[in-house]
């Protein structure tokens, strides 16, 4: 037993330079639900202010998606309407070609706009994560100061990951066009592989921005640490990220579950969705990095 060494102490992962120099840090072992209940009861209006501040930077992406929906609705409204017994039907030769070319043009424009809109979300994530960090360390919620400090600390570092993710979404569109003549099962396998790669890129990005929110690191050292840390605890990180992004998934799929359910999901997301993402992910990162922090 004398030669036994703690595996974590010899790990190549080492986080140093904790970003706690500007605050008075206290010990906090509170769980996620209790922590949210505490800050919400202590600073309800600030909590809601943080939610809406983060949500503000999602507006461009939401606007682009709504724009696409309105364009498709306008396109389908031009289609001929048939009356009973076939009366009033006017033939439209070349309709399939017309619809295909116009829907493709709308989709291409949407993905180009998302290349700009999705990286804007970087501001919400980097700022919101810093607010959660300071609140967890101090027990006090300070929104504006911590938010914009977080944007300055990690905003540009996280930008490449969100841009690559936006490019990947565009790639799924062109992949669908390129594989149009292939068998269905081949298209499915290719799509699953591409989505898995996009998820891993997003996961590495979230690990990177989370650890960079807690510790001062150069881009290269931070990326190396994030890469090692991602794959060392891959399952834990992956499950937590899926759980954290659950509000976005619910909003995306709520439209097919009825208008009442969709309205309830959207209202809950507007009130608490961004806070959920920040709290779930940052508390996970704070706890999981602790054994690898340089004392």
Question: Does pLDDT of 2 surpass 70?
Answer: no
- Beta strand extents in 74-190 (DSSP E only): none
What pLDDT sits at residue 206?
94
What pLDDT sits at residue 130?
94
Q: What gap in Å lies between CA 210 and CA 129, rounded to an integer?
A: 7
Portion of the chain with pLDDT greater than 70, in percent? 87
- Residue 241 or 163, more confident: 241
Query: Which of 278, 251, 288 is closest to 267 using CA atoms?
Result: 251
Question: Does pLDDT of 5 surpass 50?
Answer: no
What pLDDT sits at residue 26?
78
What pLDDT sits at residue 114?
87
Burial class (CB in 10 A: 0-12, 13-18, 19+), 101: exposed
Write the CB contacts of 129 (distance below 8 Å, at least 6 apart in sequence).
150, 154, 209, 210, 213, 278, 281, 282
- The pLDDT tens digits of the residues spanning 212-260 come to 999 998 888 888 899 999 999 999 999 999 999 998 888 877 766 667 7
Length of the chain: 295
- Residue 81 or 240, more confident: 240
Q: Provide the whole-model pTM.
A: 0.83
Q: 33-37: which pairs have CB atoms within 8 A and are 24 or more residues apart?
A: 35/136, 35/279, 35/283, 36/275, 36/279
- Residue 180 or 105, more confident: 105
Question: Does pLDDT of 195 surpass 80?
Answer: yes
Write the CB contacts of 110 (distance below 8 Å, at least 6 apart in sequence).
64, 65, 67, 68
Burial class (CB in 10 A: 0-12, 13-18, 19+), 275: buried
């Amino acid at each position: 037993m004398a030669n036994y060494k703690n595996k974590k102490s010899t790990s190549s992962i080492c986080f140093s330079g904790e970003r706690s120099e500007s605050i008075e840090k206290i010990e906090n072992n509170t769980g996620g639900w209790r922590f949210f209940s505490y800050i919400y009861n202590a600073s309800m209006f600030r909590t809601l202010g943080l939610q809406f501040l983060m949500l503000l930077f999602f507006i461009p992406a939401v606007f682009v998606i709504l724009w696409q929906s309105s364009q498709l609705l306008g396109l389908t409204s031009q289609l001929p309407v048939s009356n009973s017994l076939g009366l009033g039907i006017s033939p439209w030769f070349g309709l399939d070609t017309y619809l295909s070319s116009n829907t493709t043009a709308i989709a291409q424009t949407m993905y180009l706009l998302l290349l700009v809109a999705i990286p804007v979300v970087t501001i919400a994530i980097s700022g919101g994560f810093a607010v959660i960090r300071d609140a967890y360390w101090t027990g006090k919620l300070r929104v504006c100061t911590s938010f914009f400090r977080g944007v300055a600390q990690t905003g540009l570092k996280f930008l490449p990951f969100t841009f690559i993710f936006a490019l990947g979404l565009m790639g799924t569109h062109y992949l669908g066009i390129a594989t149009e003549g292939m068998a269905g099962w081949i298209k499915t396998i290719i799509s699953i592989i591409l989505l898995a790669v996009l998820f891993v890129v997003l996961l590495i990005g979230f690990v990177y921005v989370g650890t960079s929110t807690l510790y001062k690191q150069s881009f290269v050292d931070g990326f190396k640490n994030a890469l090692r840390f991602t794959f060392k605890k891959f399952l834990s990180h992956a499950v937590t990220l899926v759980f954290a992004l659950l509000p976005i998934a619910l909003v995306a799929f709520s439209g097919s579950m009825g208008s009442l359910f969709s309205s309830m999901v959207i209202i809950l997301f507007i009130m608490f969705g961004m806070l959920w993402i920040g709290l779930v992910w940052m508390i996970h990162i704070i706890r999981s990095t602790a054994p690898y922090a340089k004392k």
